[in-house]
Amino acid sequence: MARIKTEKNLSRKDVIVSKAATLFREKGYKAASMRDLAESVGVEAASLYNHIKSKSELLHELVFSVANKFVLKLDEIESEPISSLQKMEKILRFHISEMINHYEEVYVSDREWKHLSDPYLSNYQNQRRVYRKRLAALIEEGIRIKEIKAIDAPTVVLIFLHAVSGIESWHRSTKKITAEELEQNMVAILIDGLKANK
């Protein structure tokens, strides 16, 4: 009888969630069927339900675990005694490294949250709005002390977040520069683009 093989410290549910992340990234949440998932896990579709409640549970577990991680990191960075621009750079670097090292989960969380259902959906949209506002506030602080050029803060946030999500293309590309180089390049363009002209 086929059995889900777990590595140390991982529950069978963890394995399923992780495979789901890959599948949701590849095909999108709606196009990925429970049968696809079962196959990739190596078991019959019905067997999955011994470990999870529903397909949608998979999505919201993925989405919220990623979202929580970013919120926690922002809490941490916000309280550090460094300048706004330095905070933005740290946040940017964190986004980049998460996107590189936890590609599947972050990508799914970014692109597939639309398919959450309430109350998760409104909840997520709320978290997202608050997160962006906090970033914008950081930028506005930088503008106030003339460290950052006078510019619309929400627009900066939007550029930052979406630029990072472009790392998707980097993942797919064959001739890759290294992760460090990628990070360095992104910081060079985006942070330099923010700096006030002195």
33 binds DNA (CB under 7 A): yes
Q: Which residue has the tokens 């889900």?
A: 4
Q: Hey, CA dihedral for 146, 195, 156, 132, is it positive or negative?
A: negative
SS3 for 51-118 is CCCCHHHHHHHHHHHHHHHHHHHHHHHHCCCCCHHHHHHHHHHHHHHHHHHCHHHHHHHHHCHHHCCC
49 binds DNA (CB under 7 A): yes
117 binds DNA (CB under 7 A): no
Q: Contact region for DNA (CB under 7 A) — 52-60, 114-122, 124-132, 167-175?
A: 52-60
Q: Which amino acid is at 127?
A: Q
Residue 165 contacts which entry, DNA, its own copies, none (Cβ below 5-8 A, type-dependent): its own copies
- Which of positions 107-146 make contact with its own copies (CB under 8 A)? 111, 114-115, 132
4 binds DNA (CB under 7 A): yes
- Pick from 15, 6, 2: nearest CA to 61: 15
- Pick from 193, 77, 198: nearest CA to 138: 77
The distance of closest approach from Cβ of residue 171 to DNA in the complex, given in angstroms and rounded to an integer, is 25
Site string for DNA, 134-153 (x = CB under 7 A): --------------------
Q: Which of 10, 46, 145, 189 binds DNA (CB under 7 A)?
A: 46
32 binds DNA (CB under 7 A): yes
